[in-house]
Amino acid sequence: MNFINKLNRKFGKYAIPNLMRYIIILYAFGYLIQIMNPLIYYQFLMLDVAKVLQGQIWRLVTFIILPPSNNLLFLAIALYMYYAIGTALENAWGAFRFNLYYFSGILFNILAIFIIYFITGISYPMGISYINDSLFLAFAALYPNIQFLLFYIIPIKAKYLGILYGAFTLYSVFTKFIVGDYYISIAIIVSMLNFLLFFFSTRNYRKISPNEYRRKTEFKRNMRSAAKTGNVVEFRGKKTITRHKCAICGRTELDDENLEFRFCSKCEGNYEYCMDHLFTHEHVKKPSNEQQ
């Protein structure tokens, strides 16, 4: 976990906010390609290891656009679910950690396909189904008591769905190994490594309550509001958004943690003052043409 925190401090500024929004757009684009001509994906975009080794390296990226379903109704439901789950994870973890989780899932998925290819000589069309499954497992671990409607009728908690999927995955790994398709068993485990690493090799394996999620969302909203009102100052060589800033002297809570700030009810506008200037400042009045 400390390693991830260090990465976050160093590379967090490069994280892509609202990542799932762009993933959903890619899925929609992939669906349009499937409608026009499904062969376009399999001939030019699919992760074919042999062709990647021949120089078609764009396949390492373009393979992710394959939509989870070709049925428009089921696709819409799936995309809504993925967006909701991905957004909840990003809000709980932050953009950087969610980016790291998702992109590491893609890398492990690519590694799994390469393992199968070097063992069998066949490019196994896995797609990114295991990446989406790992998103759900992460959601079930963080929000175990959130309810889903199984078959759109039966209410069931996320933790039970997660356990059910985990058991099914272990069964698939075991049966593939027994029948001799051990390389597929290895590939399944490798493609799910992002979940295993994030939740069994760190100390951040904990539940996030909806109240905590709400507090984080409200804090981010307040910080954005502070940025819009000009509460951006230089502090220790870095630009920092403050919660309070005196409209007269410009002091913030960063200058002295004991400072108190109040808004003036007589000023026409959103003006905040420290206690030294709250009762001594000249009240701000809007120009007469604005008042009319």
Q: Tens digits of per-residue pLDDT, 188-223?
A: 788 778 887 777 655 444 444 445 555 555 555 555
pLDDT, residue 28, reads 92
Round to whole Å and give the CA distance between 222 and 1. 28
Mean pLDDT over 29-49 rounds to: 89
147-150/154-157 β-pairing: antiparallel
Residue-range domain boundaries for the chain: 2-208, 214-291
Percentage, residues of the chain above pLDDT 70: 79
Q: What is the CA radius of gyration of the chain?
A: 26
The answer to which of 38-42, 188-192, 197-201, 283-287 has the lowest mean pLDDT is 197-201
Q: Which is higher by pLDDT, 161 or 122?
A: 161
Token code pair at residue 15: 């994280």
Whether the pLDDT of residue 165 is over 90: the answer is no
Cβ neighbours of 195 (radius 10 Å): 23
Round to whole Å and give the CA distance between 271 and 263. 6
pLDDT, residue 214, reads 54
Whether the pLDDT of residue 286 is over 50: the answer is yes
pLDDT, residue 2, reads 64
Using the structure block, give the residue that is written with the tokens 């990114």: 128
pLDDT, residue 292, reads 46
Mean pLDDT over 111-126 rounds to: 80
Mean pLDDT over 281-290 rounds to: 71
* H/E run at residue 257: none
Confidence of residue 231 (pLDDT cuts 50, 70, 90): low
Phi first, then psi, for residue 269 (nearest 5°) are 145, 180
Mean pLDDT over 174-181 rounds to: 80
Opening angle at CA 51, ends 45 and 56, nearest 5:
65
Q: What is the mean pLDDT of the chain?
A: 78
Q: What CATH number does the domain located at 2-208 have?
A: 1.20.1540
pLDDT, residue 265, reads 79
Max mean pLDDT among 34-48, 116-130, 215-229 falls in 34-48
Whether the pLDDT of residue 239 is over 50: the answer is yes
Distance of CA 227 to the CA centre of its chain: 23
Could you read off the pLDDT of 8-32 as tens digits, one per residue?
778 878 889 999 999 999 999 999 9
pTM as predicted: 0.65
Could you read off the pLDDT of 44-100 as tens digits, one per residue?
888 888 899 999 999 999 888 888 888 888 889 888 888 999 998 888 888 888 999
Round to whole Å and give the CA distance between 277 and 274. 6
